[in-house]
Amino acid sequence: MSIESIKNSQNLVIALAQTNPHVGALQKNIDQMVEFAKHAKREGADIVLFPELSLTGYPPEDLLLRPGFLQQVEDGMQQLVEAADEISLVVGHPLRDRSGLLYNAATLLRGQKIEMSYCKQELPNYGVFDEKRYFARGDAPVLFEHKGKSIAITICEDLWHQKVMQQISNAGADLVLNLNASPYHAGKRGDREEIIRKRIGESGIPVVYVNQVGGQDELIFDGGSFVMNGEGEKIVCGEFFTEGLYIYDSAEEYLCLSAHSVDDPEGDQELSEIYQALILAVKDYVGKNGFPGVVLGLSGGIDSALTLAIAVDALGADNVEGVAMPSRYSAQMSVEDAEIEANVLGIDFRIIPIKQTFDAFMDTLSDEFDGYGVDATEENIQARCRGVILMAIANKKNRMLLTTGNKSEMSVGYATLYGDMAGGFAPLKDISKLLVYRLAEWRNRQAKERGQDEVIPQRVIDRPPSAELAPDQKDSDSLPPYEILDQILERYIEQEQCAEEIIDAGFGSEVVNRIIGMVNGNEYKRRQAPPGAKITTRAFGRDRRYPITSGFRSR
């Protein structure tokens, strides 16, 4: 169906505005929404539907506790009212009632008036969500009429519960609008569609589902807005990981405008999704915090190589600087590989040896260390020399420092506070070591398909991983093989299994108890780590919150 025929149609036409809001930047968000509304009007839409809390961005967290912020929200709503002249807007925003209670609301703006508001009934309070900290619950459905159709408004979690859809059905709704700020994790797309299909199966009512897109601190919102008809078939499907406007005409059974998935030609859809999620996370975290670019240390290892590729894909080569900082224990091939990676991706690259810096520290501390043998302290000083150098470059050039550690290392504390943990953002914080390898190989395949050189040298993938802080050091000297470690960590951290369950699954009791002890004993390190992109169901940070001081022992 052509755009022109949509404009001339007398059927109900709804535009799904899949926006990337900036939390707290109300005027910026308002201007963006007005532009989307104008675009939707040009496309002949009757209604433009925005995501959950689209006015403030999601999640606004304790900004919601500031009266001045809420006053700006109310003032901003009046600006949006003016945009509702020849098109109706459904806007997500915090709503404060006369008694002072605050609701997660969606408001219909029509005819340059605030016509009605719906208050979210089901407030999630698990994982990354803590909406009960801020919002009161709504208790009733809200429906409005447009072109002979009875339309219900719902917000995100509402449709994960059968009760709300039953209310809507009993009220005689013909169509459901669902505003979402649904964070991404691997496999989340299928979960969402399954839930909405289940609700449609119970009611037979079509659902228009719009989702936020963009990175917000640890969270990634992947978009993927869609419309499902009364048979549970997707008839509009928005792109993932990018903004867009998608048009739904109630008369069309199959209509898909500018809609694409992130399916990978090799069939590695999950890897493609995760990689695009990491790109979006880095791009938005760096950009929304006002940094013109990033700097990172290039060790010649696989973690820094993958982080570099993500940074360049997110920000462009001109906005990325890499620094190799060899020590006396660094292999020549490590420096060579770092330089190859930098040259292939076209970034600014420096080599700054740390021997002189390290020797200065050791000379300064010689009296203090007298009588003590060499141990991990000297290894940590090397890492901290690198951290100081990178932070100095970041400060001087106003760039954000990206750290390169992965989830496997962070889980067991195989990282140095104020050393390789120093930085502003950790793209791989929720990426296990084995997944790092898979993503590196996937990125190389993408380069090959485009006729480009591999961005991560094969020998970086093939060689045993090492921190290179001691002679002939390998990760396997301190950790079990990652093939074993990552499975234990997934069971303990993401699946919340106890030691007995993991041992019963076939893992040795000694290694299980050792790894669990390392996880529990390094919470203090993780609490001081930079934020990083969440891509699993149980990420460190706001998703998994454990006490630092704890006597609990898993059995």
DSSP assignment of 465-525:
P---SSTT--GGGTS--HHHHHHHHIIIIIS---HHHHHHTT--HHHHHHHHHHHHHTHHH
User: What local confidence, expressed as pLDDT, does residue 57 receive?
Assistant: 97
Using only the alpha carbons of the chain, give its radius of gyration: 26
Q: What is the mean pLDDT of residues 522-538?
A: 94
Lowest mean pLDDT among 102-111, 290-299, 309-318, 321-330: 321-330
Confidence of residue 233 (pLDDT cuts 50, 70, 90): very high
Residues annotated as catalytic (active site), given as ranges: 52, 120, 156
What six digits make up the tokens of 284?
A: 């938005």
Confidence of residue 261 (pLDDT cuts 50, 70, 90): very low
Confidence bin at 365 (pLDDT 50/70/90)? very high
Domains, in order of start, for the chain: 3-249 (3.60.110.10), 269-477 (3.40.50.620)
pLDDT single digits (tens) 184-225: 999 888 899 999 999 999 999 999 999 999 999 999 999 999
Beta bridge partners of 454: none
304 has binding-site annotation: yes
- Span 319-340, average pLDDT: 91
Is 275 annotated in a binding site? The answer is: no
The reported pLDDT for the residue numbered 13 is 95
Query: For 425, which DSSP code?
Result: B
162-170 helix and 188-203 helix, angle to the nearest 10 degrees: 40
| Ramachandran quadrant class, 229 (left: phi over 0; alpha: psi -120 to 50; beta: rest) | beta
Of 60-64, 95-99, 164-168, 548-552, which range is least confident? 548-552
CB 436 within 8 A of CB 428: yes
433 in a labelled binding site: no
Token code pair at residue 527: 């609490």
- Kindly report, residue by residue over 17-32, the tens digit of the pLDDT: 999 999 999 999 999 9
DSSP reduced 3-state for 420: coil
pLDDT at res. 250: 84
In the predicted structure, residue 2 carries a pLDDT above the cut 50 = no
| Beta carbons of 128 and 543 less than 8 angstroms apart | yes
- In this structure, what DSSP letter does residue 136 have? B
Chain segment 394-437, per-residue pLDDT in tens: 999 999 999 999 999 999 999 999 999 999 999 999 999 999 99
Place of tokens 């007298």: 370
Q: Is 404 annotated as a binding residue?
A: yes
What does the pLDDT read at residue 10?
67
pLDDT at 387 over 90: yes
- Given a cut of 90, is residue 471 above it in pLDDT? no
Query: Please, which pLDDT band fits residue 330 given cuts at 50, 70 and 90?
Result: confident
Question: At 215, phi and psi to the nearest 5?
Answer: -100, 140
The distance between the two most distant Cα atoms of the chain, rounded to a whole number of Å, is 88
d(CA 190, CA 201): 16
CB–CB of 490/500 below 8 Å?
no
Per-residue pLDDT tens digits for 151-191: 999 999 999 999 999 999 999 999 999 999 999 999 888 89
How many Å apart are CA 168 and CA 142, to the nearest integer? 8
163 annotated among ligand-binding-site residues? no
What is the predicted pLDDT for the residue at 382? 94
Q: Which two tokens stand for residue 136?
A: 């009161």
**What span, in angstroms and rounded, lies between the C-alpha atoms of 434 and 411?**
14
- C-beta atoms surrounding 500 within 10 Å: 12
469 is in an annotated binding site: no
pLDDT of residue 545: 86
Tell me whether residue 380 is annotated as binding.
yes
Return the bridge partners of 345, or none.
Answer: none
Q: Is 285 annotated as a binding residue?
A: no
Burial of 434 (0-12, 13-18, 19+ CB in 10 A): middle
If one compares 257 and 211, the residue with the highest pLDDT of the two is 211
The tokens of 252 are what?
A: 């069309």
Crossing angle for the helix pair 355-364 and 376-397, nearest 10 degrees?
120
Contact 31, 37 (CB under 8 A): no
CB 482 within 8 A of CB 436: no
